[in-house]
């Protein structure tokens, strides 16, 4: 089908292995040029805003009504997957072509440079004209829909997070001559804390905690560590759980990114479409950041539809995969839900 061919064309940009379309590079430009051509073929009015975001509009019968946008991003991580971002953009163009003119103006949108921090959508939010609603179809990037036996899922919100560094000081010493009960080993203390953080996250539904980087000094094979320092990344689906998690993890202080709740109206439109097809209604929080979270934070009624991943839900990898059947179903649900929102 045409949508799969378009995903192949985007995937081929930048050479393999995997998708290689880092934000604001020639490869992302090429992807935007391709998508702009598809938008024009679909009869959309194409605009590129000052941040390079691509917006293809289908004017509605009531031009003053708040616009309804669908889309995602066309940049990728290095050696990324075939679906991440690209699926949401290609599906939005497909949906608008099927829907035709509605009461509210519709637009298919590709935001710039999502992977490195949502530069495009942050730029729009800082000074552009925002839509009334945003709907983003995206690969789940996790295993939960596959485990639930559900092809599609409705996103409840985008997790909030906090990052910190923990440092443990001990006393460096000789690995051979210092008895075990005379040691003050910084890495052993750090290891106990890492296990405690795991248990803290496990005790709060939907929370996660990750220690992904660790440094040990002086760092000798035959030296007891005198200092250990590690990174902590904690995430939770709502503000209350994030607060509990941060307190229990002992990383209070500056620099927390709030969770973004998805709009009840958009979730309801998606739910109605899943129920109309007899599909299981699975609701889940997104553990990854998305443009939808940036828009929601700016007051846009934002929602996301996740499509089930194969291969254990792996993403940011050439092994990222969704079945053609699941993708076709996702495009149908996206289209009809957009129709509900656009009137
Ligand atoms: Zn993405």
Mind listing the pLDDT tens digit for each residue in 301-315?
Answer: 999 999 999 999 999
Rg of the chain over all Cα atoms, to the nearest angstrom? 23
How many angstroms from the chain centroid is the CA of residue 291?
7
pLDDT band at 252 (very low <50, low <70, confident <90, very high): confident
pLDDT at position 1 over 80: no
What is the Å distance from ligand 1's center to 84 Cα? Answer: 5
Cα(234) to ligand 1 centroid in Å equals 20
**pTM of the full predicted structure?**
0.86
Q: What is the pLDDT of residues 152-171, one digit of tens each?
A: 999 999 999 999 999 999 99
Residue that the structure tokens 């008895």 belong to: 179
* Residue 112 near residue 23 (C-beta atoms within 8 A): yes
Cβ atoms of 160 and 258 within 8 Å: the answer is yes
Q: Say whether the peptide bond before residue 218 is cis (omega within 30 degrees of 0).
A: yes
Tell me the C-alpha distance between 328 and 63, whole Å.
Answer: 30
Q: Write out the residues surrounding ion ligand 1, Cβ under 5 A.
A: 84-85
126 alpha carbon – ligand 1 mean position (Å): 21
End-to-end CA distance of the chain: 28
């Amino acid at each position: 089908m045409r949508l799969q061919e378009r995903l192949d064309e985007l995937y081929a940009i930048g050479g393999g292995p995997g998708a290689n379309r880092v934000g604001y590079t020639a490869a992302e430009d090429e992807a935007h040029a391709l998508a702009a051509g598809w938008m024009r073929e679909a009869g959309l009015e194409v605009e590129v805003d000052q941040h390079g975001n691509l917006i293809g509009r289908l004017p509605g019968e009531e031009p003053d009504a708040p616009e309804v946008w669908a889309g995602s991003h066309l940049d990728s991580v290095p050696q990324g997957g075939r679906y991440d971002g690209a699926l949401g953009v290609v599906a939005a163009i497909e949906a608008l072509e099927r829907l035709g003119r509605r009461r509210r103006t519709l637009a298919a949108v590709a935001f710039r440079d999502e992977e490195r921090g949502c530069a495009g959508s942050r730029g729009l939010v800082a000074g552009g004209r925002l839509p009334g609603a945003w709907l983003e179809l995206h690969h789940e990037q996790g295993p939960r829909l596959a485990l639930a036996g559900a092809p599609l899922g409705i996103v409840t919100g985008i997790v909030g997070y906090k990052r910190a560094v923990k440092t443990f000081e001990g006393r460096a010493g000789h690995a051979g001559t210092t008895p075990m009960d005379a040691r003050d080993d910084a890495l052993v203390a750090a290891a106990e804390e890492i296990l405690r953080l795991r248990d803290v996250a496990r005790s709060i539904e939907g929370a996660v905690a990750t220690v992904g980087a660790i440094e040990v000094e002086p760092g000798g094979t035959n030296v007891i560590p005198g200092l250990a320092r590690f990174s902590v990344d904690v995430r939770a689906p709502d503000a209350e759980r994030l607060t509990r998690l941060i307190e229990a993890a002992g990383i209070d202080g500056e620099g927390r990114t709030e969770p973004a709740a998805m709009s009840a109206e958009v979730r309801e439109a998606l739910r109605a479409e899943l129920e109309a097809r007899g599909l299981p209604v699975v609701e889940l929080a997104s553990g990854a950041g998305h443009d939808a979270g940036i828009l929601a934070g700016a007051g846009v009624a934002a929602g996301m539809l996740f499509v089930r991943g194969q291969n254990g839900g792996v993403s940011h990898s050439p092994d990222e995969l969704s079945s053609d059947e699941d993708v076709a179903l996702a495009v149908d649900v996206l289209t009809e839900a957009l129709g509900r929102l656009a009137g």
